[in-house]
Structure 1
Amino acid sequence: MTIFRKNFLLTTLLISITFISCSSDDATELLGNWTKMSSFDGPARSNATSFVIGDFAYVTTGYTGDEYLNDLWAYNSTGDYWEQKAAFTGPARSAASAFAMDLKGYVGLGYDGTNKLKDFYQYDPIANSWTQKADFGGSARYSAVGFQVSGKAYFGTGYDGNYLKDFYQYNSTTDSWTLVSGFGGNKRRNATVFVIDDKAYLGTGVNSGVNQTDFWVFDPNTEAWTKKRDLDDDEDDHDTYLITRSNAVAFSMNGLGYIACGEYSKTIWEYNPTTDLWNEKTALEGSARTDAIGFAINQRGFVLLGKSGTSYFDDAWEFKPLEEQSDDDN
């Protein structure tokens, strides 16, 4: 064999080894597994709202593509099944907002197909009954966020014909609303919020057709908003973030926050409040979707419902961030 032939074969072998090595390094798989749970028993829908009390998640309102809804369903997380409860007594609607406080659920705002709404209702799971409460203190709107943190509950942002950034606190003792300190971020609707260690983290959403990139934390003790790393940040030698979106869902568990789906996406990102950094996890193993709902029950995270084009979903998924992806549990 000639020297040229030997050198050629050696060079080819080294190139092949280098290519295989680089390919292996680049093929790092994302961590996280999705398990398909009991399908939602009510009609498939988008733009529903939910709140969690104890071991149960309550899902109400929404839109099927043909009608607005006011039914109420309770998900038993220990038994993995659904039960129908007393229907929401306000007008049927979509894009409402909700929170839970003092072992009761609260639902308000939204859109009924004609009107933007500001009515507000309390659900008592023991009595399985609804009571109308004082109207929301701001303008009638839809696609706002609702959350409870450190025993204080809030509605804010949304759309009333204009994009909004105001926040109001609800006092259940006096059944009244109070405008709270101004939010320093941009106006938006269809944002997401999750709560970690008595602080609320808000981001995503859209303003005049532009997805918002700013991300904020709210401290209810000082009523102060503090800006965190932008959702499209690509500095400091970490991976470029692709979190920016609207109509997504959010929840928190085990001291970490999660933003998933939205605008027909199926990706999910995990937020660490200690480092102010995000980490991409295994994408939803169901269909990509927008206008879904997400919640956590006893440190277990769930994503369900939503739509893609004219298809509306009734499937439900649990996300397990520490497990490797498996197709055997779906």
Structure 2
Amino acid sequence: MKKIVTWLLTASIVLGCSKLEIVRVDASIASVSPDAAVPGSTIVISGSNFTENTVVTFGTQKAEIVGVTGDRLEVLAPNPLEEGDLELNVSSRGVPAITNFEVLPFFVEKTPHPDGAINGTGFVLNGEIYFGTGRIGNGNITSTFYKYSAGSDTWTELVSNNTIPARAGAFGFEAGGKGYVLGGSSGTDFWEYDPVTNNWTQKKDYPNSSLLFPVILTLGSDVYLCTGFQNFISREVWRYSITNDDWMQMNDFGGVKRGAAVGFVIDDVGYAGQGYDFDTNTRLNDFWSYNQSSDSWDQVGAPVPSANMEGGIGFSLNGNGYIGLGRNGNTGIKDFWKYNPSQDNWDLLTEFVGSATLAAQVFVVGKRAYIINGSSFNNSEDFVELWEFTPETF
């Protein structure tokens, strides 16, 4: 017992004589890339004296650090953040390093379409948006196309060697460097535009009845038209081969029949979901992925945690999928959701700054999406607008 007491006393003396030394570590910032971005973007900070205890704040909001070495930090800018300039602060148990950072807006309004065509369609070729057909202000339908250059924010009328029949409610897509327009109020006729020859060429008609509100998935040299309305609400999937100019019916869509759904393609995998079953008056909230090689559908594990959407828009960018707008019954939707395929989950990204919009058109050019026209959720008002949407700065 005496021996134990002596040891404890000795330990106490040693501890009492020890000195607690706190080492100050002053972080430094050499560069920030990018130094201006929308909320939620990945930001790389280069500098020195970064540790696992380093804290990064944008203004007063703490950022999530996803990677750290002594001279490099990878962080996610908080979302939401107020637009404008703020201080980016990096602290590693010492004097913090501070630099300026600019928070960019998700949405910027651009020059609207000259004719104000509603229910038009188009495609992207060589970094320009080709948008045409639709219903113009006097109620007439048109066959005119315009080209939009995002760099100069200008529209130019397309003067092609020939034209396609006027229509509204058609749908378009790009494949193999050419643009395609199918159906709408004109029926099942199918047209190809070649920017090299500046000619429209009629291709083999869609073999079923007139199709409205499908999801379009372009996978390599094949285009898949999924679900939609063709004198009935459909689960059908039709493949068009650009190479062979022929149509083939594939296995049905994995979910229930629907129209006005949304979709996108990520890494050669097609995704489709949401929409409206007109027969049962049901708005849907499931999402499915399509495997081209096996011609099969699998339900995506995470349903979209939002109001069920019809008539929205979908697109992919930088390995993620995005959906937004549309309506749920008598309620317009302004939310935009981001889908991460590696995590199989949805995150609320932001809210549209314009009006809740039904049946808009969306086109991806470079690192941005462009949202064109549309109508109010109850079809009482047409919106002749063009919005540039940057879901992530990279």
* 1:1-330 equivalences in 2 (<5 Å): 30=80, 33-64=105-136, 66-86=139-159, 89-112=163-186, 117-208=187-278, 209-229=281-301, 231-232=303-304, 241-263=305-327, 264-308=332-376, 309-322=379-392
Query: Shift of residue 243 of structure 1?
Result: 4.9
Query: Shift of residue 271 of structure 1?
Result: 0.7
Partners of 2:80 and 2:133 in 1: CA distance:
34
Bigger CA drift: 76-85 or 60-69? 60-69
SS at match of 1:312: coil
Please identify the structure whose Cα radius of gyration is greater.
2
Structure 2: gaps (5+ residues) = 1-60, 63-77, 82-103
Confirm or deny: 8 A CA contact 1:85 1:128 kept in the other structure. no
Partners of 1:135 and 1:151 in 2: CA distance:
18
1:158-182 per-position Cα deviation (integer Å, ceiling 9, x unaligned) = 1122101111111223211111122
Greater percentage in strand: 2
The letter of the residue matching 2:129 is A
The letter of the residue matching 1:101 is A
Confirm or deny: 8 A CA contact 1:138 1:168 kept in the other structure. no
SS at match of 2:289: strand
Query: Shift of residue 297 of structure 1?
Result: 1.3
Partners of 1:230 and 1:207 in 2: CA distance:
20
Q: 1:42 to 1:147 in 2, by over 3 A?
A: farther
The letter of the residue matching 1:260 is G
The letter of the residue matching 1:171 is S
Identity level (%) = 31
Confirm or deny: 8 A CA contact 2:373 2:386 kept in the other structure. yes
Structure 1: gaps (5+ residues) = 1-23, 233-240, 324-330
How many residues align? The count is 286
TM-score by length of 1: 0.80
SS at match of 2:185: coil
Number of the residue aligned with 1:14? none
TM-score by length of 2: 0.67
Partners of 1:262 and 1:118 in 2: CA distance:
26
Partners of 1:95 and 1:157 in 2: CA distance:
16
1:100-159 per-position Cα deviation (integer Å, ceiling 9, x unaligned) = 1110011102125xxxx2110001122222111110122222122223113321223211
The root-mean-square deviation of aligned C-alpha atoms, in Å, is 2.3
Instruction: Return the structure number with greater relative CO, CA threshold 8 A, min gap 6.
Output: 1
Partners of 1:69 and 1:165 in 2: CA distance:
30
Q: 1:307 to 1:196 in 2, by over 3 A?
A: same
SS at match of 1:127: coil
